[in-house]
């Protein structure tokens, strides 16, 4: 009887021909999608180390014909690059920590069923997702509170995110059992102690999700710096790179002949090098948070 049941399991474990064909089709589509996503990133990397003429003439596909560092050398010769790089790192770290500090407690508070006026407060958070005060009122407010041309203008005014608060609230509603709060109350645990000692250690997934979203947003941000920062020593990397590329394009329109070709080649080298320099650090952060990110984005954004 044991042999018969074992043979039955083997029979059920074997895939039919149609299932095998379907699996091959699915894996083929997955591999194709991966190539479509990965190849453009790889092309930018190899183009940044290649001769611009080889890239322009289509001679670069999978590997540089000649390894060159001219683009990176030209880029890092700019005096403000290193300072703006440090500014971006500081803005990203401080902005992410501050965003977690304000959004996570707000999401937790909205998840509490004993919060008086919870639905009205949630509505107040939802309204700014659809209606904004506009650029000029925000600018006047930032100027009135003394944050204009200040380091903290990239950290404080735009740290509150209604979407992140709602995602955090949904996560707490679905992932933190109410029985934990009742048990903590029996042991004499306060609300703050319960949040910091019990809830947050169980919420690594949503912390990773909101932290990564915020960090990527701050790292890629340049418009806020363009509006609120006039001091070049306070401007982030993205804004400095944008200015360098625009200046190179303007120079190309003012000259002709061999000088224009040389400026175009320099601009192309710096363009690819700038993409690599500005995206590599934030891309290297994702693998360390991937496990928590996948779990948190599914629980926090889909379940309700």
- DSSP states along 181-244: HHHHHHTT--HHHHIIIIIGGG-HHHHHHHHHHHHHHHHH--HHHHHH---GGG--HHHHHHHH
- pLDDT at 103 (0 to 100): 92
C-alpha closest to that of 124 among 136, 109, 134: 109
What is residue 66's DSSP assignment?
Answer: S
Question: Which residues in 125-161 are b (16+ Cβ under 10 Å) and which e?
Answer: beeeeeeeeeeeebeeebeeeebeebeebbbbebbeb
| Helix %, strand %, coil % of the chain (to 5) | 80, 0, 20
- pLDDT at 296 (0 to 100): 53
Query: For the chain, what are the domain ranges?
Result: 2-68, 72-302
Residue 158 CB contacts under 8 Å (≥ 6 apart), including other chains? 224
| DSSP-derived 3-state class of residue 149 | coil
Please list the pLDDT of the chain residue by residue as tens digits (304 residues). 455 455 555 545 577 877 888 888 888 998 898 888 888 888 888 888 877 777 767 777 788 777 877 778 877 777 778 888 889 999 999 999 999 999 999 989 888 888 888 888 888 888 888 887 788 888 898 889 888 888 999 999 888 888 888 888 888 888 888 888 888 888 888 888 888 888 888 888 888 888 888 888 898 888 888 899 888 888 888 888 787 777 766 766 666 666 666 666 667 777 778 888 888 777 777 777 666 665 555 554 444 4
What are the φ and ψ backbone dihedral angles of 218, each rounded to 5 degrees? -70, -40
The CATH H-level (homologous superfamily) assignment of domain 72-302 is MetI-like (1.10.3720.10)
C-alpha closest to that of 46 among 23, 70, 65: 65
Gyration radius from the chain CA atoms: 26
- pLDDT at 91 (0 to 100): 93
What is residue 114's DSSP assignment?
Answer: T
């Amino acid at each position: 009887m044991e042999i018969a049941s074992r043979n039955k399991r083997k029979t059920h474990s074997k895939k039919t021909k149609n299932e095998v064909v379907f699996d091959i089709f699915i894996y083929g589509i997955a591999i194709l999608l991966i190539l479509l996503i990965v190849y453009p990133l790889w092309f930018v990397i190899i183009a940044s180390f290649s001769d611009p003429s080889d890239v322009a003439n289509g001679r670069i596909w999978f590997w540089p014909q000649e390894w060159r560092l001219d683009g990176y050398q030209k880029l890092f010769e700019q005096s403000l690059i290193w300072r703006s790089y440090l500014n971006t790192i500081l803005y990203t770290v401080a902005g992410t920590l501050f965003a977690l500090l304000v959004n996570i407690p707000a999401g937790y508070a909205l998840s509490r069923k004993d919060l008086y006026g919870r639905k009205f407060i949630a509505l107040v958070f939802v309204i700014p997702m659809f209606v904004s005060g506009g650029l000029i009122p925000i600018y006047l407010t930032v100027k009135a509170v003394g944050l204009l041309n200040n380091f903290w203008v990239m950290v404080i005014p735009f740290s509150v995110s209604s979407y992140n608060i709602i995602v955090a609230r949904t996560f707490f509603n679905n992932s933190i059992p109410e029985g934990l709060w009742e048990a903590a109350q029996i042991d004499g645990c306060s609300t703050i102690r319960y949040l910091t000692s019990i809830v947050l250690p169980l919420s690594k997934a949503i912390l990773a999700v909101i932290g990564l979203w915020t960090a990527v947003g701050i790292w890629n941000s340049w418009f806020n710096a363009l509006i609120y920062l006039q001091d070049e020593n306070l401007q982030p990397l993205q804004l400095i790179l944008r200015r360098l590329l625009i200046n190179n394009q303007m120079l190309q329109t003012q000259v002709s002949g061999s000088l224009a070709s040389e400026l175009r080649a320099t601009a192309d080298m710096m363009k690819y090098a700038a993409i690599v320099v500005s995206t590599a650090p934030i891309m290297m952060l994702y693998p360390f948070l991937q496990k928590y990110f996948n779990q948190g984005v599914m629980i926090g954004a889909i379940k309700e």
